[in-house]
Amino acid sequence: MAVWTGAAVVASGADTATRQSERGPLILKPDAVRNYVRSFNGKDHTHFGQAISNEEAADWMADNVPLFECPDKEIEAIYHFRWWTFRKHIKQTPDGFVVTEFLPKVSWSGKHNTISCPAGHHFREGRWIRDPKYLDDYAVFWFRKGGSPRSYSFWAADAVYQRAMARGDFALAVDLLPDLVANYEAWEKSRLEPDGLFWQVDDRDGMEVSIGGNGHRGEGKRATINSYMYGDALAIAAIAERAGKPQIVKEYRGKAERIKRLVLAKLWDDEAKFFKVLPRGEQAGLVDVRELHGFTPWYFNLPDKGKGFEIAWKQLMDPKGFYAPFGPTVAEQRHPGFKISYTGHECQWNGPSWPFATTVTLTALANVLNNYPQQAITARDYFDTLKIYAKSHRLKRDDGTIVPWIDENLNPHTGDWISRSRLKVWKDGTWDPGKGGVERGKDYNHSTFCDLIITGLVGLRPRADDVVEVNPLVPADIWDWFCLDQLSYHGRTLTILWDKTGTKYGKGKGLRVFADGVEIAVAAKLTRVTAPLPN
C-alpha cells in the first residue's frame, strides 16, 4: 500500500527500491562538471535561474546527475551543457516543483508557465536526477495541482512509467493510476474517431505549419497522437498489473492492440514505405509527404517485427529525405512543399530541424537497433545523427565567439536558430517582449540529449525487473574508451565503462558494469550484457 503525501511516497514495509545509494562515483571525479559549469556560467549573458541558481549549479550537478566522459569533447561538453540548462527549468512553486519549457513567461503556457507539449521529454531526461522530489512533484502537478495535460499531445502515462522503471520504484505510478486512466478517457472523448484512430491538429502536436496538415483544416489521424495513446495504454496496463487491477490490464492491452492494428493498416503508406497523416473524412487518403514524425511509432515499439516496416529508416540518412548537416529535417527535402522560411510564422515544421523531433527520432532509432532484426539502418547512423545533433548546439555571437546553445528551430543547412533570428529583428534589432520576452528560446527545454547518451549511446536499457541491461550503440571502431558513472538506477549507483586496452581506467579490458562498486557484468567487446543487481 502506498499513499501520496504531497512530497514523497510512503510505502509500507522495507522498500529498498526507493532508497538511493549514497555511494559516490567509482571512476570519475566531479572536477569536469565544475569546470564545465564555470565555463557555461561565464558565457551566460542572461544569468536566469529558477529553483537552482547558476552559482549552485556545479554542486547540484555533482550531487544529482550521472558523470560522463568520452574522447569526443563536443559530445561530452553538450552532455554537461544540457544538464546545466535542464537545471534552469526546475521551478519551485506553491504546488511543488515543476519543469518549464521556456524561461520567460509565454502567453500560451498554463499554470506556473508549464506546457504539456515537451513534458514527456522532461520525464525521460529528468528521470536520471538522483533526488526524486523534482519529478515526483511534477508528476502530481499535471493531474492534481492544476496542470493542463491535454493542452498539447503528451504521452503522460508512458512518461510516468518510464521514469518508474529507471528508479525501480512504482509506488507513485500506482498512486497516479486513476488519474492516468481518467486522462486517457478524456482523450478518447475529445479526439477518438469512429474508426478507432485518434486525430490531432498539427499545432496541438507542437508541429505547426506542417506540410501534412496545417491548422484545423488539416486535422488528421497522425502517427504522433496514435503512438502516444498506444504507449499510454501499454503503460497503464503495466501499472495496473502492479496495482492488482486485472480488468484494467485487460482493457488497456486491448486498447493498445486495436490502435496498433489500425496504425499499421491505415497510416502506413506501402508505396512510400512510411507512416503518414490520414486527414479526417471518409474519403480522405494519406498525405503525399514523408515527415519526420513518421518515425514516432518506434518510440513505443509499435510496429511488428519482421514485417518490413523498418525500411522507412532508410530515409533518415538520405539527403533527399531527412539528412542535413544540421538536421534531420522535419519534412523530406524532395517534397515541393519543403522550405526554410524567414517569413510568416517563426515556428514552422515544414523543413527546419527541431530538437523535439530529433529526440523522438533518436529514441525510436535506439529501440530499432535494440529490438528489431533489420538491415535498413546501423549503430553508426545513430552515432552520426547524434553527432550532428551535438554539433547543432552552438551559436555564433555578433563578436564571432561560438558558445553552447539550445533554442527552438534550426536552419538544417546553416545551423542558424531561425525563430531567434526572426524574433530579434521584429523590433528594429531588439527583442520584442510581446513575443515572449528577451531571448525567448534561450536554453529551450523542448527535447532530450542526456537520455540519448545514457540509454542509446552508452546503452542502459531501463527494465521493470532488477536486471541491468546494457547495449552500447557506440560503433566498435569509434572510441577506445568512455565512462558513465554515478548513475542512479533501482536504488543503486551504476558505473558503465568501456576500456579497449585496459589502461584508461585500470579495471581491465572491455565493457564493464558495476553496481555500488561491485562488478556485475563484463564483455570483451561492445555488445549487449545483462546481469541481476546484487542483493
Instruction: Determine, yes or no, domain membership for 29.
Output: no
Q: Which three cell numbers stand for residue 441?
A: 528560446
pLDDT for 525 beyond 90: yes
Please compute the mean of the pLDDT values over residues 333-352 and round it to a whole number: 95
Instruction: Determine, yes or no, domain membership for 196.
Output: yes
Query: Between these two residues, 497 and 2, which has the higher pLDDT value?
Result: 497
DSSP letter, residue 456 = I
| Contact yes or no for 235/161 (Cβ under 8 A) | yes
Residue 218: what pLDDT? 80
What CA–CA distances, in Å, run from 450 to 16, 21, 99, 128? 26, 21, 16, 9
Note down the domain range covering 224. 42-463
Residue 435: what pLDDT? 54
The alpha-helical segments, DSSP class H, found in 290-373 are 355-371
Instruction: Determine, yes or no, domain membership for 513.
Output: no
Number of domains in the chain: 1
Beta bridge mates, 67: 485
Write the pLDDT tens digit of every residue in 257-315: 999 999 999 999 999 999 999 999 877 899 999 999 999 999 999 999 999 999 999 99
Residue 8: what pLDDT? 36
Q: Which long-range contacts (CB under 8 A, 24 or more apart) does 392-397 make?
A: 392/326, 392/353, 392/355, 393/78, 393/81, 393/82, 393/449
The model's confidence at residue 397, banded by pLDDT at 50, 70 and 90, is confident
CATH of residue 174? 1.50.10.10
Give the C-alpha separation, 222 to 23, whole Å. 45
Instruction: Determine, yes or no, domain membership for 76.
Output: yes
pLDDT for 356 beyond 50: yes
| Contact yes or no for 102/436 (Cβ under 8 A) | yes
pLDDT for 479 beyond 60: yes
Instruction: Determine, yes or no, domain membership for 26.
Output: no
| Contact yes or no for 426/435 (Cβ under 8 A) | yes
The distance between the two most distant Cα atoms of the chain, rounded to a whole number of Å, is 66
Q: Which three cell numbers stand for residue 274?
A: 512510411
Instruction: Determine, yes or no, domain membership for 109.
Output: yes
Helix (H) or strand (E) run with residue 181 in it: helix 177-191
Instruction: Determine, yes or no, domain membership for 356.
Output: yes
Give the pTM.
0.94
| Closest listed residue to residue 124, CA positions, set 412, 438, 475, 362 | 362
Q: Which residues contact 232 (CB under 8 A, 6 or more apart)?
A: 155, 156, 157, 158, 180, 184
Q: How many CA atoms lie within 13 A of 161 on its CB side?
A: 23
Q: For Cα atoms 221, 224, 225, give the angle at the middle one, nearest 5 degrees.
A: 65
Q: Which three cell numbers stand for residue 116?
A: 504539456
Beta bridge mates, 492: 489
Residue 332: what pLDDT? 98
Instruction: Determine, yes or no, domain membership for 298.
Output: yes
Please compute the mean of the pLDDT values over residues 425-431 and round it to a whole number: 58
Please compute the mean of the pLDDT values over residues 192-207 and round it to a whole number: 96
Please compute the mean of the pLDDT values over residues 106-118 and round it to a whole number: 96
